[in-house]
Structure formats: C-alpha cells, structure tokens
A = this chain, B = another copy of it.
Amino acid sequence: MARRRPLTGCGLEAALAVVGGKWKPIVLWNLAGTPRRFGELRRLVEGISEKMLIQQLREMEADGIVSRTDFREIPPRVEYALTEFGVSLAEALRPLCEWGTAHVARIEARRAEVVSAR
C-alpha cells in the first residue's frame, strides 16, 4: 500500500488506504454483521496465512475500523468485530460491492483475455 503519499483529491485514496489490498475487503466482508474469532476468520478467508490475517487485522484495528477483544481465557479466545466506524465504511462500500457483483462476469472475462493473450 502507498502509505506515505499524502492523500489528495477526492477521498478515494484515503478510503483505499484502509480497505485496499488483497485481503482487507474479504476480511471486512466476513466481519460484517457478526464478530468472529481468529481461527474462524482464518477458515473463512480461504487461502490467507496466519501472518497476513493478523497483519491485516492489526492495520484495520489501527485504522479504527476493527476492534479486538481478548477474553483472556484458556484456551485463548479473541474476537474481532467492526467498530461503528467500520460499519460506516461497510455502508459506504455497499454500492461498489453491488457494482462488482453485477459485473463480475464481464470483468473476469476481460481478465481471462489478457492472460490468454500471452
């Protein structure tokens, strides 16, 4: 992610600094509506490594869109959830999400062309 560049123009860059990247959208998506435990997320977000998951969660926590609750039990139990701020982001994301859903086929098709072109 481009962390040091000042976020200019419209707020898109600021927003993308928070939800951009390979995993954050999926993590956010899986936290929408309900809190999740770490291991639960790891299973839900297919293909993610523990390192990446924890890293993304920490960043989202630092950005104030995710909260972490350690129940201090044994065995360990930690829950992640969207903050109010995170929920507001999810709301703002919805139209884009729907746009994507509506056009996945089209997008994937073009991508496939590019790949087969080489």
What residues on B are CB-neighbors of A99 within 8 Å?
11, 15, 88-89, 91-92
Q: Are B29 and A63 in contact (CB under 8 A)?
A: no
A77 at interface, CB cutoff 8 A: no
Contact B12–A97 (Cβ < 8 Å)? yes
**A1-18: which have CB < 8 Å to B?**
2-18
From DSSP, what is the main secondary structure of chain A's interface residues? helix
Chain A, interface size category, equals 35 or more
* Of listed A20, A62, A92, residue having the most chain B CB within 10 A: A92
Q: Is A115 among interface residues, defined by CB-CB distance under 8 A?
A: yes
Known: A3-B111, A29-B10, A114-B3. A95 touches B98 (CB 8 A): no
